[in-house]
Amino acid sequence: MAEMVLFHHAQGLTSGVRAFADDLRADGHVVHTPDLYEGRTFATLDEGVAHAQEIGFGTVLARGRAAVAELPERLVYAGFSLGVMPAQLMAQTRPGAAAAVLIHAAVPLGEFADEWAAGVPVQFHVMDADDRGDVDVARELAGAVDGAELFLYPGDRHLFTDRSLADHDAAAAAQVLQRVRTFLAALG
């Protein structure tokens, strides 16, 4: 079974993020869900993004680093939207990364490191018409990383995997969960 750190999106550590983690835990995986917002959640994505801007993206990344500091090196780093930032940072720069699962977003190469970490498999999950989902960045990264898996889902919803939010798309979210389960099982 895999050990994973799952970073939440801009609306915070919602019940939908917790439920996704619980689904993976039910498969026997160890899933850590650090709270980068220190208990705060937001009703809208815009409010959550404003909070992230207020505390600073550097703070979000620093809290992500702190959340994994005492954990083993061999981790799967996963993130939803804003949470992709610390997940991708750790996958690219922290020694021993097992894999990365980037959902709803991607960060261009060069932001954290000029190349993807050798031997670290990655999955991307975004809706194909999501204006906030960095679809072009995900395509570019998937093309630059050997063995990367890019999954595009029809639609324009951003946080479509979070069952506690209005953007939830049950069919697409079920596909993401199944693909992540398959990915984690293949890691051994």
Q: In this structure, are residues 133 and 126 in contact, taking their beta carbons and an 8 Å threshold?
A: yes
Is the predicted pLDDT of residue 188 greater than 90, yes or no? no
Q: In this structure, are residues 77 and 100 in contact, taking their beta carbons and an 8 Å threshold?
A: yes
What is the pTM assigned to this prediction?
0.97
Mean pLDDT of the chain: 96
What does the block give as tokens for 138? Answer: 């995900």
Alpha-carbon dihedral sign for residues 64, 67, 70, 74: negative
Q: What is the pLDDT of residues 11-25, one digit of tens each?
A: 999 999 999 999 999
- Domain range enclosing 100: 3-187
- How far is C-alpha 138 from the geometric centre of its chain's CA atoms? 12
For range 3-15, the mean pLDDT: 98
Domain total of the chain: 1
Q: In this structure, are residues 122 and 102 in contact, taking their beta carbons and an 8 Å threshold?
A: yes
What does the DSSP assignment read for 79-102?
A: EEGGGHHHHHHHHHHSTT--EEEE
**Gap between the Cα atoms of 11 and 98, Å rounded:** 27
For range 122-128, the mean pLDDT: 97
Q: In this structure, are residues 187 and 123 in contact, taking their beta carbons and an 8 Å threshold?
A: no
Q: What is the CATH number of the domain that holds 71?
A: 3.40.50.1820
Alpha-carbon dihedral sign for residues 74, 105, 33, 58: positive
133 pLDDT tier (thresholds 50, 70, 90): confident
**Gap between the Cα atoms of 45 and 91, Å rounded:** 25
- Collect contacts of 62-65 with beta carbons under 8 A, ≥24 apart: 63/34, 63/36, 64/7, 64/34, 64/36, 64/89, 64/90, 65/89, 65/90
pLDDT-above-70 percentage for the chain: 100
pLDDT at 54: 97
10 pLDDT tier (thresholds 50, 70, 90): very high
Is the predicted pLDDT of residue 122 greater than 80, yes or no? yes
**Gap between the Cα atoms of 24 and 49, Å rounded:** 27
